[in-house]
Amino acid sequence: MIPVVSEWTANQPGTISLGQGVVHYAAPAEVHQAVANAATSEARIDRYALVRGTAELLEQVEQKVGRENGIDSREQTCVVTAGSNMGFLNAIFAIGDVGDEIILLSPYYFNHEMAIDIAGCRPVGVPTDVNYQIDLPAVEAAITPRTRAVVTVSPCNPTGAIYTSDSLKAVNRLCQTRGIYHISDEAYEYFTYGGKKHFSPASLPGAHQHTISLYTLSKAYGMAGWRCGYMTIPQHLEVAVKKIQDTNLICPPIVSQIAATTALKIGQSWCKEQLAGFERVRNLVLDEISTLGQKCRVPQPDGAFYALLQLDSDKRDLELVEALIKNFGIAVMPGSTFGVTEGCSLRIAYGALDAETVAEGMGRLTRGLATLL
């Protein structure tokens, strides 16, 4: 769907995109300087390295997950990846055989569905409740003898929901009891609003044997193009994951690992400074949506930089997306891309633009929806 919407947007000059899931700021200046220095002084960037990552970056990752996520690297193995999408694909190849099932909480991140398909496994969508929170009985009912994992994304793309720590603990216990894995995608761990706190399921006692956690520098550090992330995995999966990553990648690019090492040394405080205005932009988005009244409902997005609108409309979501671009100069993504099978919904992404541009884009969106619905 992204190429389709991108082509429509390109054909309408001046269109504002609320569709792309990136931030509007650049990586720390120190990252660029470190890479420039390495390009002229470090021959190792031209060579292969260990498949699991450089020693310098792994040290920073182990310290970070211990300090911020409560994950003991003595119990789990850290692996550097080319972004958390590669981490997810590594995980699915490591734990799944052809025909096995992976449970996704709907609405879900579409790349996860595609990765599961690539691995020859079967994605099983389990709807969340009306507020995009986990429906634990529904998850439990979806588990079959072929189920290999339950995937959670919190804070969530595409809904912006933050799953409660109690719900994540319950999912993790359920996975432990049923002998399956809990894959926890935490790409948006720093994007939390209204006093909400991020929770990492792998920090739970006994969770290290069945929990796989995914992280990235793409979002909070503004490093999407550097393609660098990391995962923590049960130690018994280390050999399998290294085989998979060696086959697909050999090793994460050394230049990107130098960039990531520098970024993690700078640390969370730099990210928090960049994110200081995100809650205000989130509130702006919600205020604009509220002008649509009963035509639109949006469960409170307390994290990430997304909102998934539920519209009172008989129109197809893709039909609305096309009309909004062509007639009102505003691009959003159809909810069906994220596994929404009932009703009409649209995803807004507000991270890639400054507050003024978001405000202009939301004005176009609400005017368009008021006309089209």
Hey, which residues does 80 pair with through a beta bridge?
Answer: 230
Extract the tokens encoding 367.
């005017």
Share of the chain above pLDDT 90, in %: 93
pTM above 0.85, yes or no: yes
Of 373, 367, 311, 303, the C-alpha closest to 340 is 311
> Any idea where the domains of the chain sit in the sequence?
2-21+274-372, 29-266
The mean per-residue pLDDT over the stretch 31-36 comes to 96
- The model's confidence at residue 248, banded by pLDDT at 50, 70 and 90, is very high
Residue 237 has pLDDT above 80, yes or no: yes
Residue 42 has pLDDT above 90, yes or no: no
- Contact (CB, 8 A) for 27 and 223: yes
- Contact (CB, 8 A) for 58 and 200: no
pLDDT recorded at residue 147: 98
Q: Cα-Cα-Cα-Cα dihedral of 358, 364, 365, 367, to 10°?
A: 140
Extract the tokens encoding 320.
């609305």
Q: Which fold has domain 29-266?
A: Aspartate Aminotransferase; domain 2 (3.40.640)
pLDDT recorded at residue 152: 98
pLDDT recorded at residue 2: 80
pLDDT recorded at residue 128: 97
Q: In the CATH scheme, what architecture does the domain 2-21+274-372 have?
A: Alpha-Beta Complex (3.90)
Residue 43 has pLDDT above 80, yes or no: no
Question: What is the strand order of the sheet 306-311 is part of?
Answer: 296-297, 306-311, 344-349, 333-334
Q: How far apart are CA 106 and CA 92, in angstroms?
A: 18
Extract the tokens encoding 170.
């319950």
